[in-house]
Amino acid sequence: MVFGFAKQSDGHVSIDSVPGSGTTVRVYLPRASANAVVESEDLVHEESQDGAERLVLVVEDDADVRSLTVQLLRDLGYRTIEAANGTEAVEQLELRHDVALLFTDVILKGGETGVDVAKEVQLRSPDIRVLFTSGYTRDVISHHGRLGAGVDLLEKPFTKTQLGTRVAKAING
């Protein structure tokens, strides 16, 4: 995930490891300008209007990542329900019939995949849109047969602006 984050940020990673002494990881990122922050805040504000109380089902096996994602979506104006795996997602779906979007990690613990979860969810509710997320790059996932071409994927780590833009696009088609 560190390598993917650095690469998508136009940076790089240096790892030095000496047996018995430890490992040093250096992440090099390009300098950000103050203008980029202001522009991002403006986009987030615009995207929050698109949320308009739409319900997003978040499926993520890492509790910390799930909690952060849910909070970002709520900040953007979306209602959320969450699940740690496919079984919980289906249970949530049976309780709620107004889910607009399934936002799921591609790789879940226990050999389960987000693709499996999406298929099951869409069997029950074909109108639900799907947005996948992963800490792996699209190339890595595609080479391992996890996602097909043309599937909507938001690579981790993502910013609030990126999340808002991609969720709004996924919901609105």
Nearest to 77 by CA among 45, 102, 53: 53
Q: Which residues pair with 80 in a beta bridge?
A: 56
Q: Which residues of 106-131 are buried (b: 16+ CB within 10 A; e: fewer)?
A: bbbeeebbbbebbeebeeeeeebbbb
Q: Which residues pair with 17 in a beta bridge?
A: 23
Residue 170 has a pLDDT of 94
Q: Does domain 33-172 have CATH number 3.40.50.2300?
A: yes
Strand ranges (DSSP E) for 19-128?
22-28, 55-59, 79-83, 99-105
Whether 167 contacts 12, CB under 8 Å:
no
pTM, rounded to two decimals: 0.70
Q: pLDDT digit string (tens) for 87-135?
A: 999 999 999 989 999 999 998 988 888 989 999 999 999 999 999 998 8
Residue 29 has a pLDDT of 79
From-to residues of CATH 3.40.50.2300 in the chain: 33-172
